[in-house]
Amino acid sequence: MLDPQARQFLDLMAAQGVPPAHTLTAPQARQAYLQRRALSQPEPTAVAATHDHTLMHGGVSVAVREYRPMGSQAQETLPALLYFHGGGWTVGNIETHDVVCRALCNASDCAVFSVDYRLGPEAPFPAAYDDAMASFAWAVANAASLHIDPARIAVGGDSAGGNIAAAVSLGLRGQAAHPDFQLLIYPAVTMRPDTPSYHANGQGYMLTQDAMRWYTANYLSQDQHADDWRASPLLAPSHAGLPAALVLTAGFDPLRDEGRLYADALSKAGVDTQYVCFERQIHGFVTMGKLIREAHTALALCGHVMKRHWAGV
C-alpha cells in the first residue's frame, strides 16, 4: 500500500498543475523544483551555525554550505558528511536540500557540507563527479581550519547525489585520504536501468521513466558514458575495499531495485552494509517532511547509523 501521506502529496502536485520536469527546459525545471519546496518541505530546524564557503579547482568555483550541529562548540573537532543533493544532475542546489542537511547535521552530531556541484546539460558528465572529488580533497586539506576529523569524513546524497557519493567512494578507494562512510539514499547507480521496479514504478509515483531519460540525457553527453563506473557505480569491476554504507530505498520508487542491487554488491564484496527499504514511500520522500512523517524517521535513522558508526558500535 502506498503511504496515504505520499498519495496526498501526489494528489496535491496534480491539483497544483505542477508540470513534469521533462516537459520543461533545464532552467525552468530548476525554478519549479525550487518553488515546490513550499508544498512539501517543513520549516528548517535550527543548527548551531552555518558558514558558506567557496572552493576552487581547475578554474571552477564550487559553493559549499557548512552546518554545525546544535550543542557543538565552535572549535570542536567533529566528524563530517559531504552531502550531494538530488535532482537528476540537472536541478537542485544548496537551498533545495537545506532542510535535509540541517536534519542530518543534528541527527548525526556531525558537521555537514552541502556541495553545490555543477549541473547538466550546461556542465555534463563528469563535471559533477569532478566537483565532488574536489570537495573531498578540499575538506581533507582544510580539516584543521574547518574543525573536522579528516579520518571521519563521510560522503552521502539522495538520488543523483547518492550516485555521486557512490562514485566518489569508488574513485578514492585505496587512497591515503578516503571516505569513512557512504550514505546512499535511493541512489541511481546504473544509467541503463532495466529492473522490475523501474518498469512497475516508472509512472505515477513522482519519478517517471520519461523524467529519468530526460535527466540522463542532460547529464551524459555521450551514450558510452553510461558504461563508465563514475556514472554507473553498479558497473564497477569490483566493490571491495569501499567504506561502510547505509543504503536506503523506497518501495514505490523506480530506483528501488538498483539500490538493493548495489547494497547486495557491497555486501558480496565484504563491505559493512546496511539496507533499509521504506516500502510504502515514493522517490524523493526524505525532502517532504511537511506532509510525510516517514521523512523525519528516515533522516533520524540516517543520523543514528552514522553516529553509531563513528562511535564504533
* Annotated catalytic residue within 40, 108, 114, 159: 159
Cell numbers found for residue 28: 525552468
- For the chain, what percent of residues have pLDDT higher than 90? 96
Longest dimension (CA), the chain: 52
As a whole number of Å, the CA-based R_g of the chain is: 18
State the average pLDDT over residues 228-244.
98
Distance CA 131, CA 56 (A): 9
**Catalytic annotation present for 85:** no
Cell numbers found for residue 190: 546504473
pTM (predicted TM-score):
0.98
Q: Is 202 exposed, middle or buried (0-12, 13-18, 19+ CB in 10 A)?
A: middle
Residue 38 has pLDDT above 90, yes or no: no
Beta bridge partners of residue 296, listed in sequence order: none
Q: How does 182-192 read in b/e, with b if 16+ C-beta sit within 10 Å?
A: bbbbbbbbbbe
83 confidence band (pLDDT: 50, 70, 90)? very high
Distance CA 90, CA 294 (A): 26
Distance CA 162, CA 128 (A): 12
Tens of pLDDT, residue by residue over 124-175, are: 999 999 999 999 999 999 999 999 999 999 999 999 999 999 999 999 999 9
Mean pLDDT score of the chain: 97
The secondary structure of 165-210, three-state, reads: HHHHHHHCCCCCCCCCEEEEECCCCCCCCCCHHHHHCCCCCCCCHH
36 confidence band (pLDDT: 50, 70, 90)? confident
Residue 243 has pLDDT above 90, yes or no: yes
What pLDDT is stored for residue 313 in this prediction? 84
State the average pLDDT over residues 263-275.
98
* Annotated catalytic residue within 97, 147, 178, 283: 283
Amino acid in position 193: P
Distance CA 53, CA 304 (A): 27
Asked if residue 114 lies in contact with residue 307, where contact means CB atoms within 8 angstroms, the answer is no
18 confidence band (pLDDT: 50, 70, 90)? confident
* Annotated catalytic residue within 3, 228, 253, 257: 253
Q: What angle do CA 174, 240, 110 make, to 5 degrees?
A: 65
**Catalytic annotation present for 253:** yes
Q: What angle do CA 236, 197, 121 make, to 5 degrees?
A: 60
Tens of pLDDT, residue by residue over 184-222, are: 999 999 999 999 999 999 999 999 999 999 999 999 999
Cell numbers found for residue 210: 520519461
